[in-house]
Amino acid sequence: VSNAGVGMAGPLECQSLAAMQSLMDTNFFGLVRLVKEVLPDMKRRRGGHIVVISSIMGLQGIVFNDIYSASKFAVEGFCESLVVQALRFNVAISLVEPGPVMTEFETKLYEEAERADYSRTDPETAEIFTNLYLRNSKDVFASLGQTPEDIAEHTLRVIEAAQPPFRHQTNAAYTPLAALKHADPSGALVTDAFYKLVFKYDAVLRLGLR
């Protein structure tokens, strides 16, 4: 089970390349190093199961989570490319894709975001992040967040499955989000939906979450 990960949220202009590279080294290359170690023996034994804790943000990018989403997209692409070869050797690969999870990971991330310096971006972007994104994120976590125990139960079900799924989303509230993206290959539908949700109907969103 590959579960190591770090987060990053905020305006792109305020994040250093060194911090981005460090995140990718943990979230993506950490997984690659792990798989390189365990896969050869699994192939020799003709059996094994690699379970990767991914994210719904590996399926859909979320505003102000550019680099974190990129790392999870990389994880998804890596596993999707590898799964067919692995099946030839009777090795299963499963991606567990949670939405928000209520842990110290997220609490620390948002506490740091509230204290960060946003002088390297324009005032409008800083305002959108601090007064729209952070405020809405708290409501999302309070309303839709899962416990670590819930994610563990989902992961256990994936491990124990007779035929392990390649993808397993833990939060049904996010299923329409993934479906919306696949409904329109041009990307216009989901982009328009997210734009309106963030900039036009944010008050309705918060009310609905509460």
- The residues that are catalytic are 68
Spatial CA neighbour of 131 closest among 196, 64, 190: 64
Q: Where are the alpha helices (DSSP H) in 132-171?
A: 134-144, 148-160
Q: Rg of the chain over CA atoms, in angstroms?
A: 18
The helix or strand, by DSSP H or E, that contains position 188, with its residue range, turns out to be helix 188-199
> Which amino acid appears at position 24 of this protein?
M
Phi, psi of 35 (to 5 degrees): -65, -40
Q: Is residue 49 classed as helix, strand or coil in its secondary structure?
A: strand
